[in-house]
Structure 1
Amino acid sequence: MSEGAESMALRWFPAMERRSRAPAEDADVLARVADGNAAALGELYERYSRPLFAFLFRLAGDRGTAEEILQDTLLAVWRSAGTYRSRSSVSTWLFGVARRQAHNRLRGLPPPLPAEPPDGAAPEPGPEELAVSGDRVQQALARLPLAQREVVVLAYLSDLGHPEIAEILGIPVGTVKSRLHHARATLRGCIDARVD
């Protein structure tokens, strides 16, 4: 597969919309959650449920499981909001909580079967993405080890930078780059094998 085709294939994972809110505003909302304000938890849900759900769906491969993990995440946020210490952005902290909840739920389960993106979770793919065939990419993604899959999902679906991914996963930036490199090679091999 050419580098351009690989790039088009990886763009099939729609990027999370950039939020224009100031990080201080998110921190204020999280502080209100820590004080027991249920409406503030609702605000966080409105802001982050879509990107968190998309991340969890790609990790779990199943809509129902992703919804359950999202609910577990919200409960964990409700219980642990007071532990947030502003060492990272609120969004990075939320992705970290979601990732831990996903690992707790998915531990010991076999890799997910390929799944179609849920309605409303992502914009429709454009002509470039359709030309590369999203089904093949999704099937290849499901074959990745969880450590590589979560890096790919955070980088290409959630549009997070290497430092943010490293913080969420608790690994060095170099390891993020290495996992992305290996994941791209695996995805390329899976997609090329299907083309032959």
Structure 2
Amino acid sequence: MKRTDADARVLSRVADGDTAALTELYERYGEPLFAFLLRLAGDRGTAEEILQDTMLAVWRSAGTFQRRSSVSTWLFGVARRQAHNRLRTAAPPQAAEPYERADPLPGPEELAVGGDSLEALLARLPPAQRDVAVLHFVVDLAHQDIAEVLGIPVGTVKSRLHLARTRLRESLHGQ
């Protein structure tokens, strides 16, 4: 049995109101969805909230899944829409309390990429390039799946990915 068939059956059970099936779907896809949302949102708390919004949207709309894509591609599309809805209306971040401030010394990731974290480098990309880069490098989706999640042609995915790589390379080399 292929995973896509099993995922479609689980999603069908979700559509029928089976809460255990929603838990099963979360156990399969919670981590990669969270990693994707963390890169989009930039902070853990917001990413967790968007993941909850995503799972609620999946619960409500599971019956609309039409098998035109894989369940995983559909889930990332739902997560992306939830993220963009939340981030579009989000208030500017509040100043952190002194005890919440991050350690000013660079960590291993910052040292490896010249002082900037991966999140900071990705945040500098235009949103269209950032979406493609996160789905490719972090979530490890294929070009076709990224095209389906974003609703764009595969050629556009390749073009945006090329531009994102170029900008990331320039950022790493300080150009």
Alignment TM class, shorter chain as reference: 0.7 to 0.9
Q: Which residue of 2 aligns with 1:23?
A: 4
The separation in 2 between residues aligned to 1:50 and 1:134, in whole angstroms, is: 26
The alignment's C-alpha RMSD in Å is 2.5
Q: Which residue of 1 aligns with 2:77?
A: 96
- 4+ aligned runs moved over 4 Å, structure 1: 108-112, 129-134
1:77 aligns with 2:58: yes
Deviation, 1:136, is 4.5
Structure 2 SS opposite 1:75? helix
The separation in 2 between residues aligned to 1:82 and 1:131, in whole angstroms, is: 45
Q: Which residue of 1 aligns with 2:123?
A: 142
Q: How many residues align?
A: 161
The change in CA–CA distance for 1:132 and 1:183 in structure 2 (over 3 A counts) is same
The CA deviation string for residues 112-164 of structure 1, in whole angstroms up to 9 with x for no partner, is 9xxxxxxxxxxxx99xx974458354322110111111100100111111000
Deviation, 1:185, is 1.1
Instruction: Report the AA paired with residue 50 of structure 1.
Output: E
What TM-score do the two structures reach when normalised by structure 1?
Answer: 0.75
Structure 2 SS opposite 1:82? helix
Deviation, 1:61, is 0.4
**Identity in percent:** 70
- Give the conservation status (yes or no) of the 8 Å contact 2:50–2:79: yes
Structure 1 SS opposite 2:173? helix
The change in CA–CA distance for 1:163 and 1:66 in structure 2 (over 3 A counts) is same
Instruction: Report the AA paired with residue 164 of structure 1.
Output: D
* Structure 1 residue corresponding to 2:17, chosen from 17, 32, 36: 36
Which segment drifts farther, 182-191 or 58-67? 182-191
What TM-score do the two structures reach when normalised by structure 2?
Answer: 0.84
The separation in 2 between residues aligned to 1:49 and 1:134, in whole angstroms, is: 30
Instruction: Report the AA paired with residue 48 of structure 2.
Output: E
The separation in 2 between residues aligned to 1:171 and 1:110, in whole angstroms, is: 29
The change in CA–CA distance for 1:33 and 1:136 in structure 2 (over 3 A counts) is closer
The CA deviation string for residues 28-84 of structure 1, in whole angstroms up to 9 with x for no partner, is 000000000011000001000000000000000010000000000000000000000
Give unpaired runs (5+ residues) of structure 2. 94-107
Higher relative contact order (CA 8 A, sep 6+): 1
